[in-house]
Chains A and B, each alone.
Chain A
């Protein structure tokens, strides 16, 4: 079996592929690098796959905490892994929008999930999952409820700031002046969509577009992203675990190549 582990800033994801390159298990633990999250996700995924640590032939680590994961045979960036993961799960996708806890990326991919170009947000939480977390807190709801809240919006309210700190002040001002929570929630989603649109324009984007990362679990965000881009955007299967799945595919391929080389020798 082949294992990919994606250690992000706010969650840890593990995927395991079997000998036929099929997905045997995935697991997501909402604790990221520097916590017990990676170990817990690893144990959960092994249990779900009915495997023991000794059954794993190759491990690829990715994500923000990839360098500190000592058990990995190789570490590959989440940009390459998201491209690989999407390519493994979906056909004909040419652009990946990955919005995680603290960063956002737009990746153009070619055949076999090869990265053709990418752009990543600067050191700032604008346009990331963290932005939505802050918005949910200000709006007094759980992050999982934010999508439904925004879908009930009847008026468009622009949130002009994409800076998480400034946007928080702006949202509080809007609420104080009587704006509906639903409209403000939608405004926050649109602010992210516009921010990501700018990144898409920088790198150039082609249909089909797929969204990955924790923010892709937000149906309304995916829908608004599509409206902003003027192209259909679809959420990838297992959106949070796509990077880990890509890492597991790399692990499979690396192991296969090593076996082929050994056979030739």
Chain B
């Protein structure tokens, strides 16, 4: 019983110390590391090549050098990545994969080549028209090009069998993570919002096979417990990220239980199950085609609002919390659409503007507490 709680603690600690965790994972597996920028990268190819894919979702730092390339109005995750790159924090990486999901990412790919020349950049462009056959074929071509570039770094080919094996490991990881978020939703006292966030985040810095085994143990431990009642407000959370960690801590302090999430850094990474049919390349590409409601993947139907409404209905959530990354154009463009749809469905929304480098949380604390007071009269 206690073993899974120890795993929970270990994964939270791992997420809070990414540098240490990555180095430990490299030592344990004998793998060198390749950095993977947000939002999506073909981590399976990196893994198949024998490297450790490391999620590069920024982190807290003092921005001093990055201003030369990314102004103050750019996404704080990208500014942090650039800062770490310039400071030499990432010098242990063999390469970085930089997808072009937004204007800042498009710029950073070129900036990186000049600013951090010691770490090769592998660009990747996901097709705008991913649901059309031409877009689908283009995506497969991009995946194969990325494979070639990684092979160039490795100095050896990646076999189809290695890739299929890596894809299976990742599918297993994704399935276990889907179970984890479901189990967390019905055990909100055991898995606080900050614990949930950190446990998910730890996966970016660890070998997926080892990480999956630990999370599976946590899921089994949770499933053996009786379900717990949320004592505050059950909410669905959405946005690019739900951090710094102080943010989910404030949710927990105020009795918010995360019934489900739509964070790019969290459930969007694993909520899509790979298709059974087709080659491994097609399966990888279909995961992008089948992703719904992601701000960074074009969809003229704009299904995100409806998806969030469905998520609240299915989980019995009472509200939606939008963590709006400051200066994130794609997320900001989506917000008016989802706001209108959620309001029409009479689902209360709390929109919090966040920044990864923020260090004052009083306004956010007041908003979150007021929102809970508004929805849950019992607290006042």
Contact = CB atoms under 8 A, between A and B. Distances in A.
Given A80-B380, A103-B363, A250-B380, A122 B370 contact: no
Contact of B369 (A77, A116, A122, A250): A77
Given A122-B353, A123-B360, A77 B377 contact: no
A229 interface: no
A175 interface: no
Interface in B256-275: none
B29 interface: no
Of B360, B362, B367, the most chain A CB neighbours within 10 A belong to B362
B341 interface: no
Contacts, number: 40
Given A122-B353, A123-B360, A114 B377 contact: yes
A116 B363 contact: no
A202 to B, nearest CB: 9
Contact of A118 (B365, B370, B377): B370
A78 interface: yes
Given A120-B366, A120-B367, A123-B363, A76 B380 contact: yes
Interface in A47-64: 64
Given A123-B360, A250-B380, A76 B373 contact: yes
Secondary structure at the A interface, as helix, strand, loop or mixed, is mixed
Interface string B348-380: 100001000010101101110110011001001
A79 B363 contact: no
Nearest to B353: A122
B363 A115 contact: no
Contacts of B380: 76, 80, 250
Given A114-B377, A122-B353, A250-B380, A79 B360 contact: no
A125 to B, nearest CB: 12
B370 A79 contact: yes
A64 B365 CA distance: 10
Given A114-B377, A122-B353, A250-B380, A80 B363 contact: no
Interface in A151-197: none
A80 B366 contact: no
A64 B360 CA distance: 12
A87 B277 CA distance: 63
Contact of B362 (A64, A114, A115, A117): A64
A79 B369 CA distance: 9
A116 B367 contact: no
A78 B366 CA distance: 8
Interface of B: 348, 353, 358, 360, 362-363, 365-367, 369-370, 373-374, 377, 380
